Structure 1
Amino acid sequence: MAVWKTATVQFNYHISVEKMHYSVPYEYIKHRVDVRMTRSTIEVFYQNHRICSHPRLHGKPGQYSTVEAHMPENHKQFVQWNAQRFITWAQQIGSYTSTAVQAILSAHKVEQQGYRSCMALLKLADKHGVGRLEAACVRALSYTPRPSFQSIKTILATGQDRLEVGTPSESQTTSSSENHSFVRGADYYGRG
């Protein structure tokens, strides 16, 4: 017994069938395809020719079944990357950079979506140096437990990484009663 549906291949070269995502050769992006669903298999047809099949996904909605051969060449380079590889690379820079990478990866629903940000973050060491990147991650983590690539890049661009973490600014060092002409003393309220 099989059920047939139609679907449009999305820009990420996947079709969505009953809240699950299955890859299709990227050449079919924006084309309408026929989908044959059985209890165990998903088959995809274009103009009555089968172009791919997948074991049917069950369980939590939003899962992906991706075949590497369906990817465009510029996406295949990311297949060799995984979270542990980015974390290991970041640990060579420092523990705060590693924590920032882990935060970036955990911020995405699909881990692979964070790879580009992690790569860009780690490449900042080439431009600014390992020490400055680690200091920027320290600064970013002092603000939030989940820093983004953009926030760390901004810290480096503005030179905030060169300031010592925890150093109060001048306005914070002056006592609250100094230099405030609008503060009324006890005389105003009639007390001696």
Structure 2
Amino acid sequence: MRKVREVLRLRFEVGCSQREIQASTGLSKGSVGDYLKRAAACGLTWPEARSMTDAEVEARLFRLVGRNEPLLRAPIDFQWVHTELRKPGVTLQLLCAEYQHAVIERADGSRPYQYSQFCDLYNAWQKTLALSMRQVHRAGEKLFVDYSGKKPCIVDPESGEVTVVELFVAVLGASNYTYAEASRSQKKADFIASTMRALEYIGGVPEVIVPDQLRSAVSGPDRYDPEIKYPSCQPRRDSVEQAA
């Protein structure tokens, strides 16, 4: 049985958008739009459909009732997606592939969403979460530096030797302007050299350089008052204006 009556209820009684109806019913974007178009074409309003059964609503909108029924879409565990995205190297594309594989392996007659619908539904679900504090950065104020949790490798083209390296990343808070480079280690000399090259790359010096609690820059980790190894220097005013 199609969920036509539920689609009409959510749209005209609750006032949901098509994306919200998709997330609630598990129907595809095309199916939701098709049901609404069919209802408009035959002049079926929600006050009229409210007093009808699902079968009566379906018979009003479809000539061949019960035939060519579309397969139900397998629901997405959005909380699982949200939790997995916090892990290093995990992307929506990877999680969608895992979800699709699990649906196929389950073989219960349902079919998975494709990648674009998977992303749209997750983004719609994410908007229902509680709001978090928004941080506002002034241009040139802060440069955030850290090492990536996922280490890349360098392969010697002649010998084939694989060397694991660190990935240094620096990002300006206001513009998200990013500098990244591979280095041999996270030791003090490598960290300072990478930071210097990052400042040369962005063409200026911010008011504050903010490290995460990496060992190269923080000697005493603390949630509220970490002990920084290298006190920041006062930059020139013209350098701050350039680091946007």
More strand by share: 1
Give yes or no for TM over 0.5: no
Q: TM-score, normalised by structure 2?
A: 0.19
